[in-house]
Structure 1
Amino acid sequence: MAHLKNGRDLKVGRHEPPEIPAEVAAAFAAFPERVRLRLLEVRALIFATAAGTSGVGPLTETLKWGEPAYLTLATGSGSTIRLGRPKSPQGMGAVLFNCRTTLVETFRAHFAQTLSYQGNRAILLDPSVPLPAEPLAICLAMALAYHRQRP
């Protein structure tokens, strides 16, 4: 079980994500296979993390800038999470966050040696290595509860 910085436990169980909306499925289909498979793993982790994080509520899955995006419209608890690819390095997947937040800065402070980053907007994921599920789930929980945690 992962722990958030405020000491609460994050319960990420095996929750089946909902069926992918057609327009979002088309966006996933456009990714190279290895990146698509990795980002689909992250999608499942986003839904599992949301289900295990108090106050997040149901997610809205849609497209933003042509990429799969996950929003907390029902509760307004979080910042949008998008899944995509960086222009470089090639062959990587990316979990993108609003660059006007402090999210990536906070992730870097907690997981500087564990995760790879691009500027103040993305966690980069190499599909050739195992998914760092536990630290990534903690980062996703922070994003999904971002507006609740701000002073």
Structure 2
Amino acid sequence: MSSDIQAIFDRYPAHVRPCLLRLRSLILDIAESVNLGKVEEALKWGEPSFQVKSGSPIRMDWKEKTPDQYYLFFHCQTKLVDTFRELYSNSLPFEGNRAIVLDVNKDLPEDIIRHCLTLAMQYKRIKHLPLLGA
């Protein structure tokens, strides 16, 4: 992790940092286990951003105005969040066509989030498939 990305994680409140680091860990694990290649980590709009060659960028963040929530952001001009909503509207809250909203006080629905992240990280290969091939 680069020092500027580490600095962002270090600024998150103590109760949120482990949640966001868990998401980062999932992204890195998926990239390795599905052989998606190197994960490019960067800051976009001041938020940690992750991308592999075959995927759409994934960002994550926590906002002071919603202290009990943290977010996974996806490119709003993709079919990602619409597909996630179709598959998981009973399990996940969403913000428009750009984010999954997670609660710091609840367990991460890891299997569902892993599936969403996997679809995002393969988006360029599967964007033409109904429901992204899910």
Q: What's the TM-score, normalizing by structure 1?
A: 0.79
* 1:34 equivalent in structure 2: 15
Shift of 1:27: 0.8
What letter is aligned with 2:18?
L
Q: Aligned with 2:15: secondary structure?
A: helix
Q: Which range is displaced more, 41-50 or 28-37?
A: 28-37
Shift of 1:143: 0.3
Find the aligned partners of 1:80 and 1:87 in 2 and give their Cα distance. 23
Shift of 1:31: 1.6
* 1:107 equivalent in structure 2: 84
Fraction of identical pairs, as percent: 37
Aligned pairs, number: 128
1:65 aligns with 2:45: yes
Find the aligned partners of 1:30 and 1:89 in 2 and give their Cα distance. 16
Q: Within 5 Å, which residues of 2 pair with 1:1-151? A: 20-54=1-35, 56-72=36-52, 76-86=53-63, 89-151=66-128
Find the aligned partners of 2:94 and 2:65 in 1 and give their Cα distance. 12
CA 1:109 to 1:88, structure 2 compared with 1: closer, same or farther past 3 Å?
farther
Q: Which range is displaced more, 78-87 or 138-147?
A: 78-87
Find the aligned partners of 1:114 and 1:86 in 2 and give their Cα distance. 22
Shift of 1:125: 1.1
Runs of 4+ in 1 over 6 A off after TM superposition: none
Bigger helix fraction: 2
Q: Which runs of 5+ in 2 are unaligned?
A: 129-134
Shift of 1:57: 1.1
Find the aligned partners of 2:15 and 2:90 in 1 and give their Cα distance. 24
Find the aligned partners of 2:95 and 2:66 in 1 and give their Cα distance. 10
* 2:132 equivalent in structure 1: none
Find the aligned partners of 1:123 and 1:59 in 2 and give their Cα distance. 21
Q: What's the TM-score, normalizing by structure 2?
A: 0.89
Shift of 1:70: 0.4
Q: Aligned with 2:60: secondary structure?
A: strand
What letter is aligned with 1:42?
L
Find the aligned partners of 2:83 and 2:20 in 1 and give their Cα distance. 22
